[in-house]
Amino acid sequence: MAILKPGRGNFLLFLSIMTLTLVVTSLLFYALLWKAGNLIELPNLRIGFYNFCLWNEGNGSLQCHQFPELEALGVPRVGLALARLGVYGALVLTLFVPLSLLLAWCNRDKGEWQLAVGFLVASTVLLSSGLGLFLSYTSKWITFSLPGPGFLALGIAQALLILLLLVTVTFPQKAEKGKSKPEIC
């Protein structure tokens, strides 16, 4: 197993891990905050974590449904709440990853590196389970030809989270208390 030590190659590896972390965080911000959690945005259909609008043939416009109607359509309140908790919880936990990695790099502390890995594991599980729950409840209305930019951003963020987790686990920070600090700290 490779150990990160101060040096040009390892600094570039650390910098690429940090860059990947920021890309994942940016994708989650884009999908969940900028796009307001909308996974599908079409003129006749808008489905997201907070919007559920279907085309009404009678009046020729989108009709947005709230919870008594959503439960009648087969979208349970608890299931949607758990899906929201999963995806937005992944965003919150991902925010802590860069700080943990930077502290582990500067302090050369393996425990802080493992804390970052823990945040990544939790974020990966939360995002996949939240997105999976949401898609299972809305599968009647969502097809793979319909996803919007929010859905694509969440899918890419999930794939990058898995890649980031693999890279972070493969190249752990070595704990060397009392040794020289890396150049950037």
Among 10-14, 35-39, 67-71, 180-184, where is mean pLDDT lowest? 180-184
pLDDT cut 90: percent of the chain above it: 42
Vertex 28 angle, CA 25 and 103, to 5°: 20
Residue 61: what pLDDT? 80
What three-state secondary structure class fits 145? Answer: coil
Q: Which residue has the tokens 């930077």?
A: 102
What is the rounded distance in angstroms from the CA atom of residue 12 to the CA atom of residue 102?
13
Least Cα distance to 10 among 169, 173, 175, 162 occurs for 173
Compute the chain's Rg from CA coordinates: 20
Contacts of 33 (CB under 8 A, 6+ apart): none
What is the rounded distance in angstroms from the CA atom of residue 161 to the CA atom of residue 155?
10
At 18, the pLDDT band (50, 70, 90 cuts) reads very high
What is the rounded distance in angstroms from the CA atom of residue 162 to the CA atom of residue 179?
32
pLDDT cut 70: percent of the chain above it: 86
Contacts of 143 (CB under 8 A, 6+ apart): none
For the question of whether the overall pTM of this predicted structure is more than 0.85, the answer is no
- pLDDT over 70 (residue 36): yes
- pLDDT over 60 (residue 52): yes
User: Average pLDDT, whole number, for the chain?
Assistant: 84
Least Cα distance to 120 among 4, 18, 42 occurs for 18
Q: Are 6 and 182 in contact (CB under 8 A)?
A: yes
pLDDT single digits (tens) 146-175:
778 888 999 999 999 999 999 999 887 554
Residue 163: what pLDDT? 95
- pLDDT over 90 (residue 144): no
Token output for 97 = 């990853």
pLDDT single digits (tens) 89-132:
999 999 999 999 999 888 888 888 899 999 999 999 999 999 99
Burial of residue 66 (CB within 10 Å: 0-12, 13-18, 19+) is exposed
- pLDDT over 80 (residue 5): no
Residue 148: what pLDDT? 84
- pLDDT over 80 (residue 183): no
Contacts of 170 (CB under 8 A, 6+ apart): 1, 2
Strand-strand pairing, 45-48 and 52-56: antiparallel
